[in-house]
Structure 1
Amino acid sequence: MGKKGKKGSETPCAETVRFEPLPFEGKTPATIVLLLRSLEEDILAKACEAIHIFAEKGDENKVSLVGLGALEPLCQLITHMNRLVRRNAFMALSIMASNDVVRVALKKIDVIPSIIDKLSPEEDIVVHEFATLCLASLSVDFVCKAQIFDHKGLPPLIRLLSSPDPDVMKNSLETIFHLVQVTQAPPPRGGFEKLMDILSNTVENTRLCAPRPLSPTSFHFLQKFNDLHAEALPVVLNCINDSESLQVIHRGGGLMRLMEFVLTRNMPEIQSNAVRCITRAAQSSENRKLLHEQNVEKVLVELLSVGDVSVNTAACGAVFAMSFHLASKDSFRDLCGIPEVVRLLSNDSLALREAATEALSNPHACAVYEAGGGEILVQQLYGSCPSTVANSAATLGNMAGQEVVRCSVLSHGAIRALVENLKSTDTQVLVNATRCVAVLAHEKEARAELLRAGGLQPLVNLLRTDQKEVLHNACLAINVCSSDLPAAVEMCKFGALERLQQINQSATRGSSFSRLARISLLNSNLSVKYSLTGHLAVTDLISDGFYDAGKVCVCMCTIEMDVKQRPLKGIPIYLQHRKKKEDNKQKEEDQTETPKGKPWKMMDDVFLQVLLKEAKESIIPLSDEREQCAALARLVSEAMGGAVEMEKLHEVPWLLHLSELKFLLQSNVVPIGLINRGIYCHRALLFKCLADRIGMSCTLVRGEYNRAWNEVLLFNGNPSRNQHSSKPCRYIVDLMHQPGSLLKPAPLLLCIPDFRRDYALGINVEIHHAVTRQFYRDSSRII
């Protein structure tokens, strides 16, 4: 058998072999930029899309793409035959064009003709969107503007104003706005009409952007366009916001044209829109002056009487805006415009009432008062519209600045209406209501009504607010209301003092308003001020009913509260009460039932009267202030048991003496004139009481361990020969050991120990004696 032959090799198929698609992932920008030069359309589309996503992430990415050479292939791809490639290329290019570095590079490539070419009607609307966006970014540059004009880019942009896509319209308008800023030439034929058509578009972004191309440089077209749509007018005239634009319009006769629209009869829609243009222009002080020179106030007053709500509402807004100009405010008053606005407060339209209350918040208060606006505005405080309530409160606050008007406003029940507004959640209502309360509360009647109506608690509650203006106004109102003791007591019951203290300790919330409110609350009750601060200034004059409750008092209380309590252990309460004439009704009010059921009467402090009479007779005739201080100190010392040696201070039976008096009176309230065994705190209180009565100036300062002292300001030298120093020196009056001596203040005085207390604790009394003796050695004596 012969050998088998080898199989012949198979010949390849004659058909062409196709390459299978290769999935590819680019991880670096450089790789994607390289793909922009591919010949395959799918890769080009995906590469452009990737460039677009990368460029959107920030300006650094856009600049890096320029360095990688992405601009040239992108500029070529915007003219690619494939629609998807063109669209993606425009998307990437428009995003990159917003960067300054990219714009500079694009100017060298001369891409603007290619972009303008793609604004043709046959092109895809998405391409229109990103092509116009690219032109809007490039048109901010002067060279690019010139290139757009040279390549006749304005006509297609005007044509695209009719595009159904709002983004195309917006981008076209933006580009046109940039173009007309460098040329006085008008838009092509029909361009102005197309802008007018856009003004009636319902898309808000195009409505806002439309007036921008109508800059003062092209405003002369408005004079030739007579059939303006009513809705277009306020937007067309949006360019009169600044004074320079209004001056240009005025020189071209634009203001006269505007007044013609305002005075158009039987066309309320056009009138109201024209008045809103005036309101817009009146936001600038320079514009208000120019409008005043055109007697715009007379026109507005006429419109207030037009029988159309929309016109009246617009006129009220213009009155408010123009009233910031003082001459215009006087004109409205002289033209009797204020009574017309007051009349509109009774209209059924909520929008008109809101505009009317706003218009009245700025004019002369007397004019509103004379027009009978006070009563109507008070009724508006009960309204449901926060803006109307806030405007009414603001107007009433302005009116209440004058006493006659203030009394009239109060007679209409303004306080009770404002109490409800103090509970509002609207910030502007709270701002204006608290301010109005602060102004009205200057009248005693208003403060009493605020107390009766329960308005003090919501007022104090506003101290918690984070709104700075509300907090300031609330503090001002509390400051004014604190002048009445009942109101001050009520506010402190609601925690006003504690909250004000917290506010003043805050670095962000504390202010001069909060500090003033706290001082006023304390000054309204010197007993509480002394208890909380331990200091009464020279100007704090002790009056009848003052009592020392010690440092344990943490809230505003009255002496009647403490009278009802049984005698307590610890620091007693002292009362100084001088004799005065009282009628039967007052005597009945001064009687309070004690816990045992026996009537307790706030007795006249006869012994204090004797001391006061003696002080007037023996001290006032003295001419030298030092002699007066020394004489009064000796008088106080004798009344309180005389001088006491430092070593024998612990032997003074003052605690037993006071306990006997409290048991005898069955009350914590002990008249200070009955105390004849007193130490530092008792003598200092008596000295301050008598000094205030006879016209001597001194302070009352509380220290530790039942210490208290009086400080006086005296000149050194002989005042009769005018040889004393220019500044007085501060001294402490010795009332205990060497009565009448004057000591220079020393910090050690604050820490002199309580001998009796520490002796009971077994502490060495000799140490205390040494400390006290050291203090007197350190304090120079002036006799």
Structure 2
Amino acid sequence: MSSVIAQLSPEEEVVIHEFASLCLANISVEYTGKVQIFEHGGLEPLIRLLSSPDPDVKKNSIECIYNLVQDFQCRTTLQELNAIPPMLELLKSEYPIIQLLALKTLNVITNDKESRTMLRENQGLDQLIKIIDTKELNDLHIEALSVIANCLEDMETMTLIQQTGGLKKLLAFAENSTIPDIQKNAAKAITKAAYDAENRKLFHELEVEKCLVTLLGSESDGTKIAASQAISAMSENSSSKDFFNTQGIPQLVQLLKSDNEEVREAAALALANLTTCNPVNANAAAEADGIDPLISILSSKRDGAIANAATVLTNMAMQEPLRASIQGRDIMHALLGPLRSDNPVVQSKAALMVAATACDVEARTGLRNCGGLEPLVELLYSKNDEVRRHASWAVMVCASEEPMAVELCRLGTTTIPFNTL
């Protein structure tokens, strides 16, 4: 290994560089090869060769570096060696494979904040925006978007890209593209950035909500999922929440009927966030005929989908007319499966829903007749605090009439030590 790496020295001819770097690129595919190259100091000469006049040397070197940076220690050393400027130069190459490998490498290393800062300080964002703004480079758009998505996690980057007009270009690009992977990656970029409150504010000012509603109508399930997740993140902004009342909620309700369970789960999550502490949106979801598909999801095989659907139905049940509508659809029977789930999150959401819907004699009788009291009481013994809390609340609601109280005592609620609740 030392002998091969020694052939990368500036004194060697280009043809030697070419075959030595090719050798290392092939070796770096395997984990042990990565370790040996790194331990023998191969990273620094490889970075130097990114500026080689020979395209084959550049290609081999960046390919090897891409393999190496899958390891965290290599990424840290890469920052110390100031590798980002020569990588950004590779984006200007006339060879698409070199540009693609450079973008793939940048996508990996910009998961680290320090690398994102270096990329920003070296005007890397301008180059990335220029790539997605150039139709002839459409084979690089997906990877360029992935790098931008990482960078948007930082408020400084978000502000810079907004001030230079790049953010507006990004949203227009996402909305107008017909390539599913591009739309999906653009929505993922929005999701990552929208976890920051200031970023959400900037997105709202640029009317990102319209873009996301458009993406919900994509034929690609991946894009629908990504757009739903972005709406979930943006719903933390109250103004965005209001926007989606008429544009967004009806489309999300339609996605609840999808054959793809991941789509249904993502749509239910978006609705859960949009309807939490928002009666207007809860009512909008009901008016869009969301109750039946939400109840249907309670029998899903995906725990996340069940928990999300239960949250939306609980939010709806806070309003008496909607609660009556939910009760009229045999909701207690639909909750049996979630109450018996092994997943604490599902158990918690199901118990909370019982507390929200068992508000009259008929509903409580329905819960008892379908055998729902037994699994509810069992949740009082859960080791999870939230499950016990919500189960206790549901039991309190159910015990408000004597026949139910007697039945709950028979099932052992009075024998549970208070210090476990």
TM tier, shorter chain? Answer: 0.7 to 0.9
Secondary structure at 1:280 match in 2: helix
Among 49, 62, 74, the residue aligned to 1:161? 62
Deviations 1:345-386 (A, max 9, x none): 112222211111111112221111121111221121122222
Distance in 1, Cα, partners of 2:338 & 2:92: 51
Please say if 1:469 is aligned against 2:378: no
Distance in 1, Cα, partners of 2:11 & 2:313: 64
Deviations 1:513-558 (A, max 9, x none): x3xxxxxxxxxxxxxxxxxxxxxxxxxxxxxxxxxxxxxxxxxxxx
Deviations 1:3-31 (A, max 9, x none): xxxxxxxxxxxxxxxxxxxxxxxxxxxxx
Deviation at 1:187, TM superposition (A): 4.7
Deviation at 1:344, TM superposition (A): 1.6
Structure 2 residue ranges without an equivalent (≥5): 25-32, 52-57, 275-280
Q: How does 1:143-542 map to 2 (within 5 A)?
A: 154-156=47-49, 159=58, 160-163=61-64, 166-167=67-68, 170=71, 173-178=75-80, 187=87, 189-190=89-90, 194=98, 196-197=100-101, 208-209=108-109, 212=112, 213-214=115-116, 215-217=119-121, 218-225=124-131, 226=134, 227=137, 228-334=140-246, 336-363=247-274, 364-499=281-416, 502=417, 504-505=418-419, 509=420, 514=421
Contact 1:397 1:435 in 2 (8 A): yes
Contact 2:128 2:144 in 1 (8 A): no
Q: 1:166 corresponds to which letter in structure 2? A: N
Q: 2:358 corresponds to which letter in structure 1? A: A
Distance in 2, Cα, partners of 1:295 & 1:179: 40
Distance in 2, Cα, partners of 1:464 & 1:344: 36
Deviation at 1:333, TM superposition (A): 0.9
Structure 1 residue ranges without an equivalent (≥5): 1-81, 91-113, 136-151, 515-783
Deviation at 1:192, TM superposition (A): 6.7
Contact 1:128 1:168 in 2 (8 A): no
Contact 2:216 2:252 in 1 (8 A): yes
Distance in 2, Cα, partners of 1:464 & 1:198: 55
Q: How does 1:11-26 map to 2 (within 5 A)?
A: none
Contact 1:264 1:270 in 2 (8 A): no
Deviations 1:550-607 (A, max 9, x none): xxxxxxxxxxxxxxxxxxxxxxxxxxxxxxxxxxxxxxxxxxxxxxxxxxxxxxxxxx
Q: 2:130 corresponds to which letter in structure 1? A: K
Distance in 2, Cα, partners of 1:358 & 1:117: 59
- Provide TM-score, normalisation by structure 1: 0.44
Secondary structure at 1:483 match in 2: coil
Distance in 2, Cα, partners of 1:352 & 1:427: 23
Distance in 2, Cα, partners of 1:132 & 1:261: 42
More strand by share: 1
Distance in 2, Cα, partners of 1:257 & 1:132: 41
Distance in 2, Cα, partners of 1:308 & 1:357: 18
Partner of 1:703: none
Distance in 2, Cα, partners of 1:459 & 1:197: 55
Distance in 2, Cα, partners of 1:200 & 1:240: 17
Contact 2:224 2:263 in 1 (8 A): yes
Deviations 1:287-330 (A, max 9, x none): 11111111011121222233333322222111111111111000
Q: Using a 3 Å threshold, how does the CA distance of structure 1 residues 485 and 200 change in structure 2: closer, same or farther?
A: same
More helix by share: 2
Which region of structure 1 is more displaced relative to structure 2, 437-446 or 372-381?
437-446
Distance in 1, Cα, partners of 2:42 & 2:225: 40
Deviation at 1:458, TM superposition (A): 0.4
Q: Using a 3 Å threshold, how does the CA distance of structure 1 residues 208 and 445 change in structure 2: closer, same or farther?
A: farther
Deviations 1:224-270 (A, max 9, x none): 32322425522442111132221122122221231133123422221
Secondary structure at 1:247 match in 2: helix
Structure showing greater Rg: 1
Q: Which structure has the higher relative contact order (CA within 8 Å, separation 6+)? A: 2
Distance in 2, Cα, partners of 1:276 & 1:156: 34
- Provide TM-score, normalisation by structure 2: 0.78
Distance in 2, Cα, partners of 1:289 & 1:164: 38
Q: 2:127 corresponds to which letter in structure 1? A: F
Deviation at 1:162, TM superposition (A): 1.7
Contact 2:103 2:143 in 1 (8 A): yes
Q: 2:68 corresponds to which letter in structure 1? A: D
Distance in 2, Cα, partners of 1:325 & 1:411: 33
Give me the identity figure in percent: 33
Deviations 1:390-433 (A, max 9, x none): 11111111111111211111111211101221001122211211
Q: Using a 3 Å threshold, how does the CA distance of structure 1 residues 188 and 230 change in structure 2: closer, same or farther?
A: closer
Partner of 1:757: none
Q: 1:477 corresponds to which letter in structure 2? A: A
Distance in 1, Cα, partners of 2:230 & 2:273: 12
Deviation at 1:175, TM superposition (A): 3.9
Distance in 2, Cα, partners of 1:132 & 1:413: 68
Contact 2:228 2:270 in 1 (8 A): yes
Q: 2:172 corresponds to which letter in structure 1? A: E
Deviation at 1:445, TM superposition (A): 2.6
Q: Using a 3 Å threshold, how does the CA distance of structure 1 residues 322 and 120 change in structure 2: closer, same or farther?
A: same
Distance in 2, Cα, partners of 1:266 & 1:234: 17
Q: 1:222 corresponds to which letter in structure 2? A: L
Deviation at 1:129, TM superposition (A): 2.0
Deviations 1:133-173 (A, max 9, x none): 886xxxxxxxxxxxxxxxx9853367432218822675665
Give the aligned length. 374
Which region of structure 1 is more displaced relative to structure 2, 229-238 or 471-480?
229-238
